[in-house]
Structure 1
Amino acid sequence: MINKTVSSVEEACEGIEDNMTFMLGGFGLSGIPENAIKELVRKNVQNVTCISNNAGVDDFGLGLLLKKHQIKKMISSYVGENKEFERQMLSGEMEVELIPQGTLAQRCQAAQSGIPAFFTPAGYGTEVAEGKETREFDGKMYVMERAFKADFAFVKAWKGDEAGNLIFKGTARNFNPIMCGAANITVAEVEELVPAGELDPNQIHIPGIFVQRIFQGKDYEKRIEQRTVRPKK
């Protein structure tokens, strides 16, 4: 059995350079690869392109990279929780490509599946379709979207084994699974790393063939993006 375990986040991020393109799983602050993001901050990589549903908040998640001006371009669907993101975008300090959420997901999945492009009705007739091929199918217009090309994909799972098989928990099963195998190298950080063969095959969400490196994460904060509580009676 191939063992894809690495001893640390530092080892998992070997080969990372400036000007690379990264995929980062998660939705809001749910299921984000916290350890990998902190390592990218520590390594101080510059001029990177990040593909992620959102950009975290000002002092957590991808917001940490934004704070140090490490991101050259952000490819996202929803970015409304980050004031620093807004400032850099409006000032022209950072390039931003906003994509319909379903299209963002499908471009990840297309890369995972080895499909170079696909047609979708989302965005036709809007700025999203500018400069892109359009085509009519059965009387309806569609926009051609290309699969993403990324150097690294960083994902967060609940459990994983030494062979790279992954199980996601709750809402962490968002963009994480479809980013596995969608880049040249997929790095998975897990809350619990177990020997190969210990996971129930029927419970595995992503097989190890989509993962190149896996490590045991630590010190997860698991912040809540917007805490909503009932008023005291």
Structure 2
Amino acid sequence: MTHDDLPPRLGSGLTFHGPLSEARAARFVERLAAVSPGTVLDIGCGQGELLLRVLDAVPGAKGVGIDIDGAELALGRELAAGRGLAERVAYVEESAVGTPHGPADAVLCLGSGQALCEGDSYDLPVILRELRRLVRPGGRVILGEGFWQRTPTEADLAVMWPGAHADDHTPLATLVDLAIEAGFRPLWTETASQEEWEEFESGYRHDAELWLATHPDHPQADELRTRVDRQRSAWLGYRTVLGIAYLTLVPVG
């Protein structure tokens, strides 16, 4: 069996592991570069694409990316080396709970709030308090966080991810209120478009779907097919219910 015969990883080939367009990412980088952060911290960074783009836009800035996925971090180091940024960024394979890698002038946490919570818990006030601890006065936090576009029904929840519950997310207004209570002012409040969602979700499965179409009888096809079909079904279940908010936050005081 050759390497080409092996099934691809879900999400392989994606630039960002979330519904984030190139245009929106460019605006994030532009806004952060405008305040010239000297240090950038990326929580749950994966390959750290947005982190690298910020460092590239701010000469002299240094960054730290934290993740527990060693394979993603290794790819990030390759990206950094290819862009001449290896000396300005550190990829750290460890938990972000209580991380000492802060405070920083800019903090990125896009869809990675769980990295700041103990165990399997997901506590928005805890996440926001940690982000407040990790950003310097006058700095910026870009938070990507899920929210309910409408209150999910029991029927909605039944076709989402296993164990989905109405308390898993809040309405957008509640999310913003919690950020304010944690000591931030929201400079920008924006949400992922349907097009961004569809590009991300279809792109997440694209390579796997193509592989399954060309390797239907492969020994590993049944396992991958089950994973892909389950993930797609979940997305079609939350497609019009779950949103992603991108909050650009500045700490008070």
Instruction: Give the TM bin, normalised by the shorter chain.
Output: 0.3 to 0.5
Q: TM-score, normalised by structure 1?
A: 0.42
Answer 1 or 2: which has greater helix percent.
Answer: 2
